[in-house]
Amino acid sequence: MKSRLIDIISLDALRVFECAARRMSFSAAAIEFSVTQAAVSRRIKTLEDTLGFALFQRNGRRLSLTLKGERLFLRTQASLDYLGMELDDLAQNNTVTNVAISASAAVSHLWLSQRLRRFNDQYPEVSVRLTITDNLSELSRSDSELAIIYSRGSHPDWTLSPLLSETLVPVASPAYLKAIGIGASPADLRAEDLLGCDLYDYSRSGVHTVTLQDWFDQVAPGMVRLSPRVIFPTYMMAVETALRGEGVILGSRALVHPHLDSGALIELTQSALVTGFGYYLGHPRHAVLGPSEQTLATFLMSERPL
């Protein structure tokens, strides 16, 4: 294959040419590059020989660019300026490191996103890439350095540290409770009292996912099968429905506790279900965390509820 000129022309030769054309002086270019004027002349002559055309017209001690020289100068100057800006940008950000973490949509929206904002404020030199998936088996096969995994505490491929324990209890907004006539002491409601409410459930994202139907089966076995108004494909959609005051959902204390603390959601019974599962911060079992990954891991572990 025929070689291109760019493959045989040195960047140094183009830099010398750009300087000489910009200063319109070989001696000024020599001073800028800390070489002799003869060295500049030789590099320009070699470049002209390689290109096969003249770059400068010489009238005594005066220089001017040829038409082709002018065209090459404009392109070379633009290219060097662009390359210079890219190099400066890379150099300014050479302390920034990237960390990849994976989590489910519910954990990401309800718990992790706020923590990542605070983490970024404290550690601006660490850039975090978040991957969201509600497929729990896919999450555990993630190629991320860190992942928040729904588990009982062990996994063949991940080293896990407990982050959030799972306690499940039905919740609803005060506006909804007021609309259906439930006033004081909603926490004293029994499971059967909830059957007359507008119930919203969500689909399983894995074999161990606990739904509202599962909660009823555990705390009040033998009750009739539920007929939820809607079974949402994601947990987040159920939470948003409850926050809008449309009905009752199964709340995970670990995930909706900001809404419980603010009073936007209220627990409706004392029959809380501790599943034995929880959310664990994991990293690949046979991998060693780098400094940035360890910094993020330590920060997230410090955010665990007391």
Q: Is residue 142 over pLDDT 80?
A: no
Tens-digit pLDDT profile for residues 34-87: 999 999 999 999 999 999 999 999 887 788 999 999 999 988 988 888 888 777
Q: What is the DSSP letter of 303?
A: T
Q: Is residue 93 over pLDDT 60?
A: no
Other C-beta atoms lying within 10 Å of the C-beta of residue 19: 20
Choose among 221, 239, 222: nearest CA to 230: 239
Report pLDDT for 95.
Answer: 62
Choose among 8, 80, 20: nearest CA to 50: 8
> For residues 168 and 237, is the Cβ–Cβ distance under 8 A?
no
Give me 261's structure tokens: 């603390």
Chain centroid offset of residue 302 CA: 20
Report pLDDT for 2.
Answer: 58
Choose among 216, 288, 284: nearest CA to 248: 216
CA distance 25 to 40: 10
Average pLDDT of the chain to the nearest whole number: 88
What single letter denotes the amino acid at residue 254? A
CA distance 251 to 257: 9
> For residues 200 and 227, is the Cβ–Cβ distance under 8 A?
no
Find tokens 């002018």 and name the residue.
70
